[in-house]
Amino acid sequence: MGAVGRIDYYHVSGAPKANSLVVGGCAVVPDAAGRILLQRRADNGQWALPGGGMDLGETFGDSVVREVREETGFEVTIKRIVGVYSDPGHVFAYDSGEIRQQFSICCACAIVGGELAVSAESTAVDFFTPDELAALHMHPTHRLRIADYLADKQPVLR
């Protein structure tokens, strides 16, 4: 199945109003050297944390672990919650007519198995040092999640 077309609106005047809310999760996954795992999304070409929507019949934690495995090839375990991101000014407009408000819980995870693999949802998967992130084409909300992870504080509510 090919990538579904979507437009990402982030505090854009005149953006469409949300008609959907889906529980989503993403993961900050460092390697032993502290580099952060990212995928380059097939739908928009931007580098992003692995993640996606929760499916009926699974726990939130299981959904994060599944998404990381599907999108990067790594098996992970969740170590902590980085934050909850539910900004109503961030919506995704899909080809189907769905306009989804962002709702994502970001988790810090540790690799426990698997190996680096590119999925149908991505064109590349790699690890980057925090200094290398500045040069990458990445949505500001993923930069925010990474900054919150690196701050290593209590979970944030944004």
Question: What is the fold of 6-157?
Answer: Nucleoside Triphosphate Pyrophosphohydrolase (3.90.79)
pLDDT tens-digit map of 29-38: 999 999 999 9
Residues across the chain: 158
pLDDT tens-digit map of 126-144: 999 999 999 999 999 999 9
Classify each residue of 65-98 as buried b or exposed e, where b means 16 or more C-beta atoms within 10 Å of its C-beta.
bebbbebbbbebebeeebbebeeeebbbbeeeee
Domain map (residue ranges) of the chain? 6-157
Q: What is the mean pLDDT of each run of 10 residues along the chain (158 residues)?
A: 72 94 96 97 92 95 97 97 96 92 96 95 95 94 96 91
**Side-chain-facing half-sphere of 22: CA atoms under 13 Å:** 16
Q: Please answer whether residues 75 and 113 qualify as being in contact, where contact means their C-beta atoms are separated by less than 8 angstroms.
A: yes
